[in-house]
Amino acid sequence: MSSSVVAITRPLTAVILAAGQGTRMRSALPKVLHTIGGKPLVRHVIDTALAVHAGRPILVHGHGSELLRQALADIDMQWAEQREQLGTGHAVMQTLSLLPADGDVIVLYGDVPMLTAATLQRMQEAARSADLVLLTVELEDPTGYGRIVRDAAGGIAGIVEHKDASAAQRAIREINTGIMLASARRLRAWLPQLRNDNSQREYYLTDIVALAANEGLRVAAVHPANPCEVMGVNDRVQLAELERYYQQREARRLMTQGVTLRDPARFDLRGSLDCGRDIIIDVNVVIEGHVTLGDNVVIGPNTVLRDSRIGAGTVVQPNCVIDQAEVGANAIIGPFARIRPETRLADDVHIGNFVEVKKSTIAQGSKVNHLSYIGDTEIGTGVNVGAGTITCNYDGANKHRTIIEDDVHIGSDTQLVAPVRIGRGATVGAGTTVFKDVAPGKLVINRKEQREIDGWQRPVKKK
């Protein structure tokens, strides 16, 4: 199909099954709220459904409903409660009153997070010439899964669950991933026909396959591009395996876009990253929330960037934490710097080792290079803050602001007791405690007296 032709597919509604308890996670959190790449499993599924323009998804919930509602409050969704988990067919039955009159329904699992929109699209395309589309894979070891039973002509005749399967059927390696697509109209006709006369006394959704086949309808199978797309999470080992799969996939995507990752196996994306050109990311960098990096940015090893923007040409040296901050272009940050929320650093700013900056703005070309705390502060352009400078912003009850105007030089080991303003071009002598405003251009000092004591003996340790 040429890219100028828009595929005509019927409106799609996603039914996401998430009522199971997830016992093997051994967790107080519902299984589908555990995260991959910093995002709850079920959100991956919802986002994939929305990526193929599925309308308001229907979530079938049972265990941990309250926590689910809290965690997903921002999503326009429909909620179908399944009080008792009587099987996947029973789960979909709970959505009957919510299903649209027309269009297609895709059944997804809330604990199968890596499914791609491309695979869903291929299922939609297959649905143009089939009444029921299954997503299936061949596994070396199909133990536990429902098997795809085919007739002599190779057509799909039904699905038999592992526990109900004969020895011959257990030898079948093509398995049901559980993900399937059918028209809402057909689904509404099939669901009431499901019975629970099987070894697990469950209403199997998979029984709709035999119903379709018996009606002479066409059942098609589509395979995912990568088998990991249909892997479910049942325990924390599988969670970690899929986390790795996800991280490799995202690392590959970024490298394809032109980002250098020094080691894609030591990079973690827990959110989204917008990148300019020729960015270099060293090992053990963690990206959280939404991060934007300009052209030629270099991120050193062992750095965490969370919800921040970093301008072109800036170098973040090793071991920094930058959280909800904006850094301009050609800045140098770190090593060992902590840039906290609501900080804005302009172009050419230098923040050095063991410097913490919180809720402050630092204008172009200013430097805070060593061992300092800058909080609730406005620093102008061309300011040099000496080693060990502390803004005393907290009086024990309230926070106060410090204003440091352009071209101020602050000597080492200085305390600036807020609220306080240092006028433009002023100089603060080393070791000064500034507790009153300083006028522009002045030198301010409050040195202690220095004396030398003759004949002084160091104490000696008693025997």
57 binds ligand UD1 (CB under 6 A): no
Cis? peptide before 419, omega within 30° of 0: yes
Annotated active-site positions, please? 370
110 binds ligand UD1 (CB under 6 A): yes
Nearest to ligand UD1 by Cβ — which residue? 146
**Euclidean distance between CA atoms 307 and 325, whole angstroms:** 7
Where in 170-199 is the site for ligand UD1 (CB under 6 A)?
175-178
Among 38, 55, 232, 382, binds ligand UD1 (CB under 6 A): 232
> At closest approach, how far in Å is the CB of 44 from ligand UD1?
13
Question: In this structure, what is the dihedral angle of CA atoms 433, 435, 437, 438, given to the nearest 10 degrees?
Answer: -20
| Coil/strand/helix, residue 458 | coil
169 binds ligand UD1 (CB under 6 A): no
| Alpha-carbon distances, residue 291 vs 252, 269, 307, 423 (angstroms) | 18, 10, 5, 35
> At closest approach, how far in Å is the CB of 9 from ligand UD1?
25
> At closest approach, how far in Å is the CB of 161 from ligand UD1?
6
The answer to whether the beta carbons of residues 112 and 230 sit under 8 Å apart is: yes
CB closer to ligand UD1 out of 60 and 239: 60
34 binds ligand UD1 (CB under 6 A): no
> At closest approach, how far in Å is the CB of 206 from ligand UD1?
4
Stretch that binds ligand UD1, among 202-210, 235-243, 276-284, 430-438 (CB under 6 A): 202-210
| Coil/strand/helix, residue 228 | helix
The answer to whether the beta carbons of residues 241 and 231 sit under 8 Å apart is: yes
Stretch that binds ligand UD1, among 85-93, 214-222, 368-376, 384-392 (CB under 6 A): 85-93
User: Would you give the distance in Å from CA 419 to the centre of its chain?
Assistant: 39
115 binds ligand UD1 (CB under 6 A): no
Among 33, 42, 45, 60, binds ligand UD1 (CB under 6 A): 60
User: Would you give the distance in Å from CA 145 to the centre of its chain?
Assistant: 30
* Residue from 92, 85, 87, 38 nearest 64 by CA: 85
CB closer to ligand UD1 out of 60 and 387: 60
Phi-psi region of 352 (alpha: psi -120 to 50; beta: other; left: phi over 0): beta
> At closest approach, how far in Å is the CB of 62 from ligand UD1?
6
136 binds ligand UD1 (CB under 6 A): no
CB closer to ligand UD1 out of 54 and 91: 91
**Euclidean distance between CA atoms 377 and 391, whole angstroms:** 8
> At closest approach, how far in Å is the CB of 271 from ligand UD1?
25
Stretch that binds ligand UD1, among 18-26, 124-132, 180-188, 306-314 (CB under 6 A): 18-26
Number of residues that bind ligand UD1 (CB under 6 A): 27
386 binds ligand UD1 (CB under 6 A): no
Stretch that binds ligand UD1, among 103-111, 130-138, 274-282, 440-448 (CB under 6 A): 103-111
> At closest approach, how far in Å is the CB of 47 from ligand UD1?
17
| Coil/strand/helix, residue 50 | helix
- Non-local (6+) Cβ contacts of 368 within 8 A are 350, 351, 352, 355, 357, 362, 374, 379, 385, 389
390 binds ligand UD1 (CB under 6 A): no
> At closest approach, how far in Å is the CB of 21 from ligand UD1?
8
**Euclidean distance between CA atoms 220 and 75, whole angstroms:** 32
> At closest approach, how far in Å is the CB of 216 from ligand UD1?
23
DSSP string, 264-310: GGGEEEEEEEEE-SS-EE-SSEEEEEEEEE-TT-EE-SS-EEES-EE
CB closer to ligand UD1 out of 145 and 373: 145
CB closer to ligand UD1 out of 204 and 267: 204
Stretch that binds ligand UD1, among 84-92, 260-268, 358-366, 405-413 (CB under 6 A): 84-92
Please provide residue 215's backbone torsions phi and psi, each rounded to the nearest 5 degrees. Answer: -80, 0
88 binds ligand UD1 (CB under 6 A): yes
Polymer length of the chain: 463
Among 13, 145, 194, 432, binds ligand UD1 (CB under 6 A): 145
- Residue 269 tokens, joined: 């994306």
204 binds ligand UD1 (CB under 6 A): yes
The answer to whether the beta carbons of residues 10 and 129 sit under 8 Å apart is: no
Question: In this structure, what is the dihedral angle of CA atoms 46, 49, 55, 59, given to the nearest 10 degrees?
Answer: -40
The site for ligand UD1 (CB under 6 A) is made up of 17-20, 60, 82, 85-88, 90-91, 109-111, 145-146, 159, 161, 175-178, 204-206, 232
